[in-house]
Structure 1
Amino acid sequence: MTTYVWDHRREYENEREDILDAVDTVFRSDQLILGESVRGFENEFAAYHGVAHCVGVDNGTNAVKLGLQAIGVGPGDEVVTVSNTAAPTVLAIDAVGAKPVFVDIDPDTYLMDTDQVAGVITDRTKCLLPVHLYGQCVDLDPLERLAAQHGLKILEDCAQAHGARRNGRMAGTTGAAAAFSFYPTKVLGAYGDAGAVITSDDEAEQRLRKLRRYGMEKQYYVVTTPGHNSRLDEVHAEILRRKLRRLDTYIADRRAVAQRYADGLGDTELVLPQIADGNDHVYYIYVVRHPARDEILKALKELDFEFNISYPWPIHTMTGFAHLGHSVGELPVTERVADEIFSLPMYPTLPEDLQEKIITALRDILGRG
């Protein structure tokens, strides 16, 4: 049986009774859209982060998009971010009419190289959008200083960092707002698409609530454009409420999986995840690196192990973003890393015996060289 990076079935079997009860709770309720389950999840997710507000939306892409709109980013503005991210980060910037401006990444953590940010700020820059990638946090201290100096907003992309911390401060609690995805693979995942934006800015929260519901302030009356139907649905909200109670357990289990990889592969030529000082990693993805990546993946596939690469193509090199005017060679670290990284299976219920087989296969392949 082919082994992939993620498998939800064991988790579902473990939690099946609670998940089905969540569905039944919603279906027996008197409100199927923006009801008690959405309100409850929003309150509980905000409380988990110690912020004032959470606004549930339909997916992580729209969480970034609506988050940008809520903090005032629009046509003609520039948003500083990275090219080593999932495409939705940049698609959301493009969707609000803003221009993404890329900086390179740190060669050890693959996170935004914050030393490069000051050099790309212009009079059009409106927002700094750090991506807390793979499960650990960007150092926001220098970004906070730049934001204060230039009058900028920070929107944190936390799609891969639920519960991650830096120097005790939780991802998503520093900027003007933070966007989350609850895609099924995430550290906190629904059973389909879902997302949220958290903020302690009352005005941003009010704008978010209008924007996710057609721009309406009251029934049938649009006060804000462009609004969309971007609501978090009740079923996913109720499932997320139940799973939020187990989030810290999921994180502990992911760290245990990461430790087994470190113990089993630490003496090989693979470059294992490097944790930045002060970070508490939650291991959304366990990304390793080797210059012979493609040969290793080919050998693994012959053994019926098929793994993922996050991400094989930097955003600025994709034809879909050719209108941004970038070219290969502009972000050398990002481009080099994209040629060498791949992800090992990482999820809380990864069986230990399967993980041992993965470690053994990798050690055998690496030993051949």
Structure 2
Amino acid sequence: MARRFDPIYLDYNAGAPLRPCARDRMIEVLGDPGNASSVHAHGRKARGRVEDAREQVARLCGARTRAVTFVSGGTEANMTALSPSWQDQGAPVYLDKLFRSAVEHPSVVTGGRFAVADQVVIPVDPHGRVQLKALEAAVKDTEPGLISVMAANNETGVVQPVADIGAIAEAHGHFFHVDAVQAAGRMEIDVDAWRADVITLSAHKFGGPQGIGAVVVRSTARTPSPLMIGGGQENWRRGGTENVAAIAGFGAAATAALEETGSKRQIEAMKARLEAGLRSVCPSTVIFGETVDRLANTCCFAVPGIAAETALIAFDLENVSVSSGSACSSGKISVSHVLAAMGVEEDLARCALRVSMGWNTSDADIGRFLELWPKIVDRLNPAARHQAA
């Protein structure tokens, strides 16, 4: 009888498993009634839970507590931040242009509330990092605009020089947004050091519940105009009754992520083992962004001649969940815009797979992946074993 293996999940960049502490906190909160806007005892209890979580999320990203606004997730957070209309020291400010990198998440690529004609795309180098000279040339001597760059890429894990970008924004009088959805819980976040006017987060990337995120400003005196209006919740910055249970789970996950001081080294070691194993099977393996700073948890790789879609299905049949390096929408696989911006040829980009790890990944999970990979290669394209690097 064939041995049965437990399911293995290696797609944390898409969404991490819910942490037990977050689940337990949510269950506790779901058992109580109360609208956080109500003044009676039940309402005050709900309000206290929201404010406790706000403090926990603020600590995760080095921000002030009142700077945190809860929203429904990363996409709404980005839509809120990507606004041409801001308040600065009580005065309205209109931003003419959105300057975004070529490798942003689709929720930023759409431009938020900026018209297509008002967007300027900044190129990246072959490693996927923003070309700082190109950015400075684009923003120099222009009216105030908004620069938007993700802290770490969701596909490759490449970390952007956000502090340098923040310095450019400040020097030329522009506002600066950092999409920190993939960074939260995986690298240090410091709103002040980055000189970011606003950062955006999503709880489910590091073990919180799905459907909850945050917009975090450096100063409450400088904020984007609300996206959701209709009530005074969240200090008038986001209308709608707060999802108290999800917010409480977000806070619990934020605290747990902040306390995992040794996990990054453990995950980095697993990634090193994974990448060495990939190369031992196929010397021609390409690891995207490997020579620059990357998130400890992310490996995006390709073997020429092994289509990502086919390999992904092969892993899925073995109860191992990984991701394609390509964008998937409505079941259609397309070439990754991130890899295309890095100058990766289309044939190779179609072979890109992403392995992403997190709080519950074990060394045994990586061992099982490496046990399966040579068998999958031999089944799909045995000649790949002998291709030179």
| Partner SS state of residue 105, structure 1 | coil
Please name the residue that 1:140 is paired with: 162
> Equivalent of 1:59, from 73, 80, 94?
73
TM-score normalised by length of structure 1? 0.73
- Give the conservation status (yes or no) of the 8 Å contact 1:83–1:104: yes
Question: Bigger radius of gyration, 1 or 2?
Answer: 2
> Equivalent of 1:198, from 194, 213, 216?
216
Please name the residue that 2:96 is paired with: 77
- Give the conservation status (yes or no) of the 8 Å contact 2:122–2:135: yes
- Give the conservation status (yes or no) of the 8 Å contact 1:136–1:164: no
TM-score normalised by length of structure 2? 0.70
Q: How far is 1:363 from its partner?
A: 3.9
**Equivalent residues in 2 for 1:255-274, closer than 5 Å:** 255-267=268-280, 268-272=283-287, 274=289
Q: How far is 1:338 from its partner?
A: 4.3
User: Which digits, 9 at most, give the CA deviation of each residue in 1:29-86, with x for residues without a partner?
Assistant: 5335672222212112212322222211111112112223374699873211123232
Q: How far is 1:128 from its partner?
A: 1.1
Structure 1: gaps of 5 or more residues: 320-326
| Partner SS state of residue 150, structure 2 | coil
User: Which digits, 9 at most, give the CA deviation of each residue in 1:134-184, with x for residues without a partner?
Assistant: 34531134423432342111100111111454xxx63544211111122x3
Please name the residue that 2:357 is paired with: 346
Please name the residue that 1:111 is paired with: 129
Decide whether aligned partners of structure 1 residues 195 and 149 sit closer, same or farther in structure 2, where only a CA change above 3 A counts. Answer: same
Decide whether aligned partners of structure 1 residues 28 and 253 sit closer, same or farther in structure 2, where only a CA change above 3 A counts. Answer: farther
Please name the residue that 1:357 is paired with: 368
Please name the residue that 2:381 is paired with: none
Root-mean-square deviation (CA, aligned residues, Å) is: 4.1
- Give the conservation status (yes or no) of the 8 Å contact 1:49–1:170: yes
- Amino acid aligned to 1:128: I
- Amino acid aligned to 1:127: L
- Amino acid aligned to 1:356: G
User: Which digits, 9 at most, give the CA deviation of each residue in 1:294-345, with x for residues without a partner?
Assistant: 1x6525634625632244489xxx99xxxxxxx9xx9562775744532025
| Partner SS state of residue 197, structure 1 | strand
**Equivalent residues in 2 for 1:1-369, closer than 5 Å:** 5-6=10-11, 12=18, 15-16=19-20, 19-28=23-32, 30-31=34-35, 35-52=47-64, 53-69=67-83, 71=86, 77-91=96-110, 93-97=111-115, 99-108=118-127, 110-121=128-139, 123=142, 126-132=145-151, 133-134=153-154, 135-165=157-187, 170=189, 172-173=191-192, 174=194, 175-182=196-203, 184=204, 186=205, 188-204=206-222, 211=226, 214=229, 216-217=231-232, 229=239, 233-248=243-258, 249=260, 251=264, 254-267=267-280, 268-272=283-287, 274=289, 279=293, 281-283=295-297, 285-294=298-307, 297-299=309-311, 301-302=313-314, 304=317, 307-312=322-327, 331=341, 333=343, 338-364=349-375, 365=377, 366-367=384-385, 369=387
Runs of 4+ residues over 6 Å off in structure 1: 7-10, 73-76
Decide whether aligned partners of structure 1 residues 47 and 309 sit closer, same or farther in structure 2, where only a CA change above 3 A counts. Answer: same
- Give the conservation status (yes or no) of the 8 Å contact 2:208–2:249: yes
- Give the conservation status (yes or no) of the 8 Å contact 1:65–1:96: no
Identical aligned residues as a percent = 12
- Amino acid aligned to 2:71: V
| Higher mean C-alpha deviation, range 350-359 or range 57-66 | 350-359
- Give the conservation status (yes or no) of the 8 Å contact 2:79–2:227: no
Q: Distance in 2 between matches of 1:25 and 1:262?
A: 42
Q: Distance in 2 between matches of 1:313 and 1:143?
A: 30
Q: Distance in 1 between matches of 2:342 and 2:158?
A: 22
Q: Distance in 2 between matches of 1:151 and 1:359?
A: 49
| Partner SS state of residue 130, structure 1 | strand
| Partner SS state of residue 151, structure 1 | coil
Length, aligned pairs only: 337
| Partner SS state of residue 38, structure 1 | helix
